[in-house]
Amino acid sequence: MKPARREFLKAAAAAALALPAPFARAASGSEDKLKIGTIGSGNVGGTLGSVWVKAGHEVMFSSRTLENDKALAAKLGPRAHAGTPREAAAFGEVLLVSVPYGSLPEIGKELGDLLRGKVVIDTCNPFPGRDGDIAKWAREKGVGLASAQLLPGARIVRAFNAIGSSSMGEAHERPGRVGMPIAGDDAEAVALASRLVRDVGYEPVLVGGLAMGKYLMPGTPLAGEHTPAEIRRIAATLK
Ligand SMILES: NC(=O)c1ccc[n+]([C@@H]2O[C@H](COP(=O)([O-])OP(=O)(O)OC[C@H]3O[C@@H](n4cnc5c(N)ncnc54)[C@H](OP(=O)(O)O)[C@@H]3O)[C@@H](O)[C@H]2O)c1
């Protein structure tokens, strides 16, 4: 492992041990439940939000199609809500942004004031065929750093990027078996996201800062299902 990466991971672990409330309570997996807003409630947002509702969190689903979000929330019971993207962004202590990459500039513009300072879990992957030029730019820049530029001030953690959404709905049945590579620059945000990754059934493995986010997408060595040990081994070979 490269010395700079080792130092980063050590610092992140140390910071996670010294978190201020409410991050410490939330990151520890104690009884406190979180309010989560999803921006996008399709395959990924709908699946992850549903698992988090089952885990006891309160979730507000949002998209540009409120009736879909209302129907989803109605199926999940009283801890599930539906709202506009602005309502969900205001509701969530933590946000899941899970939209086609081409929608991120609009989200940054429309929700920018609400995203500033918020922990944002970013599942979004750039595909030029679907998302156009913004995807080419994001791939060139590195997708973690690109998301940070499009959602300024958000405390971004990349996670859930290269595992199919149907697996995301089943992982809690065999918790911890599969690792989830995550990347982020903000230790508190990483700790909070790690808890939510565990609630979905994966063992989070911090592979580095947002610059490492470029490896958290389909088509990289970290994509697909790996044990936590395998993820650590693969990540150590990347730069
Ligand atoms: N599918 C997978 O297995 C998988 C796995 C890992 C990562 N990903 C990535 O995660 C992201 C989401 O994937 P997905 O499969 O969940 O996509 P999806 O099923 O197409 O869902 C996208 C959601 O985003 C909403 N949306 C789109 N533009 C929006 C906007 N401007 N504001 C608010 N909501 C918006 C859509 O609803 P409306 O159109 O009604 O607004 C929909 O609810 C993508 O970037 C994808 O590449 C997918």
Question: What's the pLDDT tens digit per position in 194-213?
Answer: 999 999 999 999 999 999 99
Residue 109 vs residues 14, 113, 139: alpha-carbon distances, Å: 34, 8, 21
Q: Which of 25-39, 75-89, 139-153 has the lowest mean pLDDT?
A: 25-39
pLDDT exceeds 70 at position 21: no
pLDDT at residue 176, rounded to an integer: 85
Nearest residue (CA) to ligand 1, atom 20: 42
Residue 167 is encoded by which pair of tokens?
């697996």
pLDDT at residue 9, rounded to an integer: 61
Domain count, the chain: 1
Domain CATH for 39: 3.40.50.720
Mean pLDDT on 110-130: 97
Number of C-beta neighbours around residue 229 at 10 A: 11
pLDDT at residue 19, rounded to an integer: 46
pLDDT exceeds 60 at position 22: no
pLDDT at residue 8, rounded to an integer: 63
Residue 64 Cβ contacting ligand 1 at under 6 Å: yes
Q: In terms of residue numbers, what domain contains 70?
A: 3-235
pLDDT at residue 3, rounded to an integer: 62
26 alpha-carbon distance from chain centroid:
15
pLDDT exceeds 80 at position 2: no
Q: 7: CA distance to ligand 1 center in Å? A: 35
pLDDT exceeds 50 at position 71: yes
Q: 218: CA distance to ligand 1 center in Å? A: 15
Q: 6: CA distance to ligand 1 center in Å? A: 34
pLDDT at residue 115, rounded to an integer: 98
Q: 40: CA distance to ligand 1 center in Å? A: 5
Residue 164 Cβ contacting ligand 1 at under 6 Å: yes
Residue 128 Cβ contacting ligand 1 at under 6 Å: no
Counting other chains too, the contacts that 211-215 makes at CB distance below 8 Å and 24 or more residues apart are: 211/142, 211/144, 211/145, 211/183, 212/144, 212/183, 212/238, 213/122, 213/142, 213/143, 213/144, 213/145, 213/147, 213/158, 213/183, 214/139, 214/142, 214/143, 214/144, 214/145, 215/181, 215/183
pLDDT at residue 32, rounded to an integer: 82
Residue 102 Cβ contacting ligand 1 at under 6 Å: no
Question: What's the pLDDT tens digit per position in 74-97?
Answer: 999 999 999 999 999 999 999 999
pTM above 0.85, yes or no: yes
Counting other chains too, the contacts that 22-31 makes at CB distance below 8 Å and 24 or more residues apart are: 22/93, 23/188, 23/191, 23/192, 26/93, 26/191, 26/192, 26/195, 27/188, 27/191, 27/192, 27/194, 27/195, 28/195, 29/195, 29/198
Residue 41 Cβ contacting ligand 1 at under 6 Å: yes
Residue type (1 letter), 204: P
3-state secondary structure of 77: coil
* 44 within 8 A of 200, measured Cβ to Cβ: no
Position with higher pLDDT, 205 vs 8: 205
pLDDT exceeds 60 at position 70: yes
Distance CA(19)–CA(223), nearest Å, equals: 30
Mean pLDDT on 151-180: 95
- Given pLDDT bands bounded at 50, 70 and 90, which one contains residue 234? very high
Residue 194 Cβ contacting ligand 1 at under 6 Å: no
Number of helices followed by number of strands (H, E) in the chain: 12, 8
Nearest residue (CA) to ligand 1, atom 25: 40
